[in-house]
Amino acid sequence: MMAGLSDDERAWADYLITRAGFLVFSAILLLAAFKVPPLFILQDTAGEMDADLSSLASFIEGVAGSSLEGARYYHFGSSSEVFIHMSARYVVAGSGEGTGSVTRARALMSPVYPPNSLWVNRSGLLEEIAGRCGGRTGMGDDLLRVSDMVAVEEMLGQVEAELAQVPFVPDTRQLLVVEKVILYYEAADGIERRGISIVHQ
């Protein structure tokens, strides 16, 4: 087909093919420029959330694994576009629409009990225990009985089930209080202890 074209016609054909190639290349370059950066934003957000979740879960597990009673304070380092959900066994982080929808979760080694319908802090927990255990709280000389511990375990199971359905959403602009409460009870072998880790703001 090109054999029948004159030199002028071949030059115009080469010119048009080259221009068409430049147009296609420019279109691909523009698409890449506007589509690729959001992918990097999603990766950065996911990486930040993984680091934040690991930090929070490690902090909670450190308090839960401690043999000492007391409260520790955690400061969220994540941006305001990241939200946190907490159940008794999981910590979940998600991002808002501005950074793309990314969700990450991390299982906890031991259960932690955020605010729920039965209590919101340490004093509420002790009131709930006293209400279920004949006024005994398990603090100091106010020892619980083995039968009381059955009631406490039932209460904690009820709270776990509730938090699995309706997780706690902390305000990431405020400090998170992670507290270890140790209950003492009379067992056949003497006085035993049972730690309960709670979270509140």
* pLDDT, average across residues 168-189: 93
Contact present, 159 and 118 (Cβ < 8 Å): yes
State both tokens at 161: 């089930």
- pLDDT grade for 3, boundaries at 50, 70 and 90: low
149 CB neighbour count, 10 Å cutoff:
18
Average pLDDT value over all residues in the chain: 85
* 8-17, 73-82, 91-100 — most confident range: 73-82
Instruction: Report the half-sphere exposure of 112 (CA within 13 A, side-chain side).
Output: 30
pTM of structure: 0.73
Lowest mean pLDDT, pick from 4-8, 61-65, 146-150, 181-185: 4-8
Highest-pLDDT range among 47-61, 76-90, 150-164 = 150-164
Instruction: Please state which of the ranges 81-90, 95-104, 115-124 shows the lowest mean pLDDT.
Output: 95-104
Give me the residue spans of the domains in the chain.
8-200
CA gap 72, 59 in Å, rounded: 9
Starting at the edge strand found earlier in the chain, the sheet holding 82-86 runs: 82-86, 90-95, 103-107
**Tokens (6 digits) for 58:** 């490690």
The DSSP code sequence of 81-130 is: TEEEEE-SSEEEEEE-GGG---EEEEE-SS--B-S-SS-SSHHHHHHHHH
Contact indicator for 197, 122 with CB cutoff of 8 Å: no
Distance CA 188, CA 1 (A): 102
Tens digits of per-residue pLDDT, 39-54? Answer: 555 666 677 778 888 8
In this structure, the number of other CB atoms found within 10 A of the CB of residue 129 comes to 24
Output 114 or 53, whichever has higher pLDDT: 114
